[in-house]
Chains A and B, each alone.
Chain A
């Protein structure tokens, strides 16, 4: 495989808009315009990515009982320093048809088929082109020279290697009762190491600001179970049901050493006000970090003795305040057919996983959230006074009443953790489809048509959830973002629209 991508970019910076309604760069004062790097000479700035990959695979089968496959992939890619840019990785899988190796287990017609499988796979991932280079950019200090330079932000790392991901998976596939029930179970364990922490900040003492190193690792594990059953199988009526269970857990193992033990590594793309998808060593990869209450050793909230307002870690602090990873998800797909009618529906259950409700935080700051409706009533925040007794067996219980209407800082300074809802569950009817297929003899006369069916589909018709916001299926970012992504972060997310589709399906 040969890949060669090139992106061209022209950009211009200018100030002193001539006309407040004009939107393009010609509206800026000529002497304020800047064009960077090659744009300065009228050429595009380029982003080039090239990769060459080839791979080989060998499979051995023994009497249709056992299969062994080995593959090896060789790659060479341009973003990696030349001394490390040739790399390769293996993959192997083995499957054994146990029910044929030991035919005895099929006796009694309970277990019809059993297969065991195991695989080991490795892949490599790359950094972005030029993210690892110290090059010169334009400097704009006073000068008599036509163009001057100083270094860009990035520290070059001549030892950068591709990051590695190793996965092993074991699984089994079992079919029972004349294939009326089938069960597929698999467990996977992925170890990502030498992960490229791209453009992370460290001390300026390197002489640069951003660094790219193989400096992180994490482990991701999961269990997937699929159970398919056909409880009813008659001539005119059939019912098939499929359960899809998924449980996943992960752990951040290492991060760049410039990040302190309890500090987070984050990607600024998923960053709402102060809350971000920060990664902290020893925690799951789904954590969110933000500000929290100050608490005494017993975990009680500390209250400012002068104001009665709780003390917080303050904006700009980021502690783990949420884990967005669900405990498990379970999809249930039912398929019922009666004569020419077919009804299928998918229930989607998610249990666990926290959500940060940034919408509520914004509305609270504006005094428009329902939680601020008690602003005229005196409230006493549950907690203990931050005094000399705070960490003794008998802390001073807070009795200071505040009226938020006159002390707006109570609501405007609530810590981010206040907006995290723990363990958000949902059960939603993802979709329902009812279809009717015309009988063969009814369409035979049309000759050109082989089959004809009508259907109606409803999506997201039912949602049952304990989430106090609009809809728990939130995402503060788009799927293209790097890292874990913006799921579980609510910032003006609107509810999933209810959809109805009517259709006609024709096969010629």
Chain B
């Protein structure tokens, strides 16, 4: 009896121990053994920084500015496709694809929860520097996102248990962006805890190299943008936003050493290590510089900088076989240059392959400016800040301040080309102090007195200084002035000579726009057009001309 009792206990013990060890083995197998669910935030930041330009991970690529720039650049005529009747060249929007959805992908996914974890875990670990950087990236994201798409998801963003989301309006994004900027500054200013400059420098090696001062200036620059982007609104004057824009631009990047430059290792031919615009990745072989920029830099714009050959053309653009600078009308493509049998005016591609209609780089890499594998790709420059000051001061009537900033902006851009992009420039075409001075003292560029300064000059110098890398910002600027708005003081178009796709004699403005110009992008197709239909219906995003809906920032 006793024996049986102990046998029972013994068996029961085996069963219970067996059961509980099985239970444990099952619970242990829940988490993937292959991949970590928590990693050091130092190892997350490099990928997030890659997401400014073109995200590149084992789970998704190319979210960021650059993929969208290739298409948006056609709206503002920075460049155009070699094909005629091309959708974006005709100011068409995206239908049924993820084109122009790269910023959407970057902000919600590429940066998305990665930025959230840097903030959350960085706070736990008291790594205030990383937290500040993460907030700066989020603030940048909200502004880029809303300027490109208008309404989008803000308040409900990053709620992991929702599968449909409410869209918030643009003013909310602007407010949020600014609030997050100030939060970023708080953390970037915070010392103590586990702030570690060495670790930040390693993670941030391809952007600001751990320089917190630059990160703060970047944040001030975002603030300055958030005010100058509203310069066409009535509240700009009412709320003295010009003063805010000037104040934050002055706190932002001051010298070319401050420039926020995304760089690439080009260590191997792997995509993540090379700029999306570089010859290795071959993404810009079928676009050519726009006729508008080529004319502007060649002195053939009829009203602004007329007759002045801009030395910067040799850095930013590609010459043709005649040694001149010509470009395409984005809706015409290369038809004016002989199409498949190129004339001598046919512009070389951005990597300057000697064969004019080539779609790849040349045998010897002769790429210039931001079109190289290593970049650098500016996210913001000191020159841009000066043009913000110039525009704001001009609007509030302080023409002296405007002229000073205008001159500084041009000078900074020349210097940046001279220092950062001094490669593959043909002999005799490098910028010299003489050529720079000649340009700056030409009254067709810089008026002798501040009274002669025009809004066109400011906006067109900004258009040039942001050429190549600043497509998103320039598109915002041009939408503010509705592409063809006139400057009331001169009666000229702000963007003089700028012609959007004509409607006659041949209609080159895409028919679904119903005669209107493009003012926003549709939200990313594979995120929203398949899975957020009720909300898209509410905001009108299913209408064929949704891409022509004007954003809040450019409405009076």
- A179-215: which have CB < 8 Å to B? 201-209, 211, 213, 215
- A105-145: which have CB < 8 Å to B? 129-130, 133-145
* Residue B302 at the chain A interface, CB threshold 8 Å: no
* Residue B265 at the chain A interface, CB threshold 8 Å: yes
Contact A143–B46 (Cβ < 8 Å): yes
Q: Give the residues in chain B near A141, CB-CB below 8 Å.
A: 46-47, 49-51, 55-57, 206, 272-273
Which of A34, A36, A133, A201 contacts B526 (CB under 8 A)? Answer: A201
Which of A48, A147, A256 contacts B29 (CB under 8 A)? Answer: A48
Contact A136–B36 (Cβ < 8 Å): yes
Q: A149-B36, A201-B530 are in contact. Are A78 and B30 (CB under 8 A)?
A: yes
Q: A133-B37, A203-B163, A263-B533 are in contact. Are A79 and B59 (CB under 8 A)?
A: no
Contact B56–A140 (Cβ < 8 Å): yes
Q: Give the residues in chain B near A205, CB-CB below 8 Å.
A: 108, 153, 156-159, 162, 165, 527
Q: Give the residues in chain A near B160, CB-CB below 8 Å.
A: 155-157, 206-208
Q: Give the residues in chain A near B85, CB-CB below 8 Å.
A: none
Q: Give how many B residues have a beta carbon under 8 Å from the other chain's beta carbons.
A: 77
Contact B158–A153 (Cβ < 8 Å): no
* Residue B43 at the chain A interface, CB threshold 8 Å: yes
Q: Give the residues in chain B near A99, CB-CB below 8 Å.
A: none
Contact B29–A50 (Cβ < 8 Å): yes
Which of A144, A201, A259 contacts B205 (CB under 8 A)? Answer: A144
* Residue B434 at the chain A interface, CB threshold 8 Å: no
- A251-265: which have CB < 8 Å to B? 256-261, 263
Contact A208–B109 (Cβ < 8 Å): yes
* Residue A316 at the chain B interface, CB threshold 8 Å: yes
Bits for B10-48, please: 1 = Cβ < 8 Å to A, else 0.
000000000100110111011111111111001110111
* Residue A464 at the chain B interface, CB threshold 8 Å: no
Q: A85-B27, A143-B46 are in contact. Are A32 and B34 (CB under 8 A)?
A: no
- Chain A CB within 10 Å, residue with most, of B159, B206, B268, B269: B268
Contact B531–A202 (Cβ < 8 Å): yes
Report how far A137 CA is from B272 CA in the complex, Å: 14
Q: Give the residues in chain A near B157, CB-CB below 8 Å.
A: 205, 207
Q: A156-B160, A202-B531, A263-B533 are in contact. Are A207 and B116 (CB under 8 A)?
A: yes
Report how far A37 CA is from B37 CA in the complex, Å: 12
Contact A259–B50 (Cβ < 8 Å): no
In the assembled complex, the CB of A2 is this many whole angstroms from the nearest CB of chain B, namely 6
Q: Give the residues in chain A near B30, CB-CB below 8 Å.
A: 78-82, 85
* Residue A49 at the chain B interface, CB threshold 8 Å: yes
* Residue B534 at the chain A interface, CB threshold 8 Å: yes
* Residue A52 at the chain B interface, CB threshold 8 Å: yes
* Residue B202 at the chain A interface, CB threshold 8 Å: yes
Q: A52-B22, A139-B56, A145-B43 are in contact. Are A32 and B108 (CB under 8 A)?
A: no
Bits for B294-306, please: 1 = Cβ < 8 Å to A, else 0.
0000000000000
Q: Give the residues in chain B near A36, CB-CB below 8 Å.
A: 58
* Residue B174 at the chain A interface, CB threshold 8 Å: no
- Chain B CB within 10 Å, residue with most, of A46, A148, A258, A314: A148
* Residue B456 at the chain A interface, CB threshold 8 Å: no
In the assembled complex, the CB of B372 is this many whole angstroms from the nearest CB of chain A, namely 14
Report how far A144 CA is from B29 CA in the complex, Å: 33
Contact A142–B530 (Cβ < 8 Å): no
Bits for B83-118, please: 1 = Cβ < 8 Å to A, else 0.
000000000000010000000110011101110110
- B150-175: which have CB < 8 Å to A? 153, 156-165
Which of B34, B55, B104, B273 contacts A142 (CB under 8 A)? Answer: B273
Mostly helix, strand, loop or mixed at chain A's interface? loop
Report how far A494 CA is from B163 CA in the complex, Å: 42
Q: Give the residues in chain B near A80, CB-CB below 8 Å.
A: 30
Q: Give the residues in chain B near A150, CB-CB below 8 Å.
A: 44, 47-48, 51, 55, 57, 59, 110, 114
* Residue A77 at the chain B interface, CB threshold 8 Å: yes
Bits for B45-86, please: 1 = Cβ < 8 Å to A, else 0.
011111100011111100000000000000000000000000
Which of A142, A153, A316 contacts B96 (CB under 8 A)? Answer: A316
* Residue A16 at the chain B interface, CB threshold 8 Å: yes
Contact A134–B113 (Cβ < 8 Å): yes
* Residue A151 at the chain B interface, CB threshold 8 Å: yes
Contact B533–A51 (Cβ < 8 Å): no
- B265-293: which have CB < 8 Å to A? 265, 267-273
* Residue A4 at the chain B interface, CB threshold 8 Å: yes
- Chain B CB within 10 Å, residue with most, of A204, A213, A261: A204
Minimum CB distance partner of A147 in chain B: B43
* Residue B469 at the chain A interface, CB threshold 8 Å: no
* Residue B532 at the chain A interface, CB threshold 8 Å: yes
Contact A148–B533 (Cβ < 8 Å): no
* Residue A219 at the chain B interface, CB threshold 8 Å: no
Contact B109–A152 (Cβ < 8 Å): no
* Residue A31 at the chain B interface, CB threshold 8 Å: yes
* Residue B326 at the chain A interface, CB threshold 8 Å: no
Which residues of B approach A to under 8 Å, CB–CB? 19, 22-23, 25-27, 29-39, 42-44, 46-51, 55-60, 96, 104-105, 108-110, 112-114, 116-117, 153, 156-165, 202-203, 205-206, 263-265, 267-273, 524, 526-528, 530-534
Which residues of A approach B to under 8 Å, CB–CB? 2, 4, 15-16, 29, 31-32, 34, 36-38, 45-46, 48-52, 76-82, 85, 129-130, 133-145, 147-153, 155-157, 159, 201-209, 211, 213, 215, 256-261, 263, 314, 316
Q: Knowing that A85-B30, A135-B31, A145-B202 are A-B contacts, what are 19 other residue pairs whose CB atoms are under 8 Å apart, sorted by A's residue number?
A: A31-B270, A32-B269, A79-B30, A82-B27, A136-B39, A140-B56, A141-B55, A141-B56, A149-B36, A150-B47, A151-B114, A153-B59, A201-B530, A202-B532, A203-B532, A205-B108, A205-B527, A207-B108, A263-B533
16 A/B residue pairs, CB under 8 Å, sorted by A = A4-B25, A52-B22, A76-B23, A78-B29, A136-B39, A140-B50, A140-B273, A141-B49, A143-B47, A143-B206, A145-B43, A145-B202, A148-B43, A153-B59, A201-B530, A208-B112
The 4 closest A-B pairs by CB, nearest first: A141-B50, A139-B47, A140-B272, A260-B533
